[in-house]
Homo-oligomer: A and B are copies of this chain.
Amino acid sequence: MAAHPDTYPALLLIGDGLGDRAVPELGGKTPTEAANTPTLDRLAAECESGLMDPIGAGIRGGSDTGHLAILGYDPYKYYPGRGPFEALGIGMDVQRGDLAFRCNFSTVDENLTVLDRRAGRINEGTTELAAALNGLQIEDVTCFFKESIAHRAALVMRGPGLGQHVSDVDPHGEGVQVWEAHSTVEGDEASAKTARILNQFVRKSYELLNDLPVNQARREQGLPPANIALPRGIGVSPDLPNFNAKWGVKSACIVEVGLVKGLGNYLGMDVIDVEGSTAGLDTDTEAIGNAVIEALKDHDFILCNVKGPDIAGHDSNAQGKVQIIEKIDRMIQQILDATDGKLILMFSGDHSTPVTYGDHTGEPCPILFWGPTVRRDNVTTFGETAASSGGVGRIRGLDVVPILTSYMGVQEKFGA
């Protein structure tokens, strides 16, 4: 008589930018190794760990490409550039076929020479600025525009015959004039049209923003005016299969990164916002943990992302990275206590952001699988070095959901 197979829900938990290198300030340990993580260490001892290349060995990925791969979508096939995810992440309506860009509010002079690419990291009044640009009609194309955090914003172009192969308008430096976009593919009329619309949009944004009350007030306060919108990171919204249908689960997404939130939305996951989630080192991981516990009541697959490790990595803040990892460790214990350990947990990163480097690198992240059905290995602590001899070996991001759904007991058999 065959055992009736139990099924378990899964928590795919990402410490953003988790992976790291040996940090002299931490005595040559990585932040994960230096952190006091009794829960992660116990879980590593009980089950299996290894190394995971989100995209491929040595590939420096982003949060978008990394999460795409870990959720089972090959980014080489599906990644559309950052724009669409950025727009989705701030709640814009993005439809299949739309072009989307991320944007900066910047400061230019009357010759459109860039004086400050981030408009003094403007923090207030961007809603009014965005409203002045939103809905702009250029030829037969409608431009939707929305502010994000600080100087950031997104632009969605909707209209017929738009191509995606256009050069940048953002000169990515200061003291340089805004560039004219042009099609990068000869004879590509659709991209030529996009370039034409884009150049008009940039010029009109200067005309519409320069004298707005927000900017007059900024000038009076000695602050640089946010008097132009500079789009970049063009992408056409991709044809991504629905996550729940693809994997046979009911999923929720509790994440701190706008563009991953956008991805979750696009994939048909239930996106859950958490009060107290700041995407910073001060984030309320207990509140995030409670949201996960609550979501597990009516979902069997949760994607959760804590942004802090990446923030600390970018800021070369070793102690900060150690501390946020310790907070995540306590959050995991909180979730295990509330669920009586009846779930499959995967913990890893979406890329490495070493504090010694201050940006994303291509090294793999330590990965842990834990749960009632999970295999054992000889590893006894959690961290890059220990994981490198673990039973998981070295896998890729695309392997993660198949491994999880097998441990969950919900994967269809291939063959007989």
Contacts and interface: CB of A to CB of B under 8 A. Distances in A.
Nearest to A399: B57
A378 B388 contact: yes
Contact of A57 (B56, B360, B377, B395): B395
A405 interface: yes
B51 A2 contact: no
Interface string A27-52: 01000000000000000000010010
Nearest to A355: B3
Contacts of A63: 415-416
A9 interface: no
B60 A414 contact: yes
A357 B373 CA distance: 9
A415 B66 contact: yes
A389 interface: yes
A376 B366 CA distance: 13
Copies in the complex: 2
Nearest to A374: B21
A220 interface: no
* Majority SS at the chain A contact face: loop
Nearest to A79: B415
Q: In the complex, which of the residues A4, A259, A407 has the most CB atoms of chain B within 10 Å of its own CB atom?
A: A407
Contact of A415 (B2, B82, B378, B407): B82
Interface in A362-416: 362-363, 373-378, 384-385, 388-396, 399-407, 409, 411-416
Nearest to A5: B357
Nearest to A403: B58
A309 to B, nearest CB: 15
A75 interface: yes
B315 A2 contact: yes
A162 to B, nearest CB: 22
A314 interface: yes
Contact of A65 (B59, B233, B390, B415): B415
A1 interface: yes
B388 A390 contact: yes
A142 interface: no
A294 B375 CA distance: 38
A386 to B, nearest CB: 8
A311 to B, nearest CB: 11
A385 to B, nearest CB: 6
A70 interface: no
Contact of A389 (B3, B362, B377): B377
B385 A363 contact: no
A355 to B, nearest CB: 7
B3 A356 contact: yes
Contacts of A384: 375-376, 391
Interface of A: 1-5, 21-22, 28, 48, 51, 55-66, 75, 79, 82, 233, 259, 314-316, 354-363, 373-378, 384-385, 388-396, 399-407, 409, 411-416
21 contacts: A21-B374, A21-B375, A57-B395, A57-B403, A59-B411, A59-B414, A60-B412, A60-B414, A62-B413, A62-B414, A65-B414, A75-B414, A357-B373, A359-B413, A361-B407, A362-B403, A362-B406, A362-B407, A375-B385, A376-B384, A389-B389
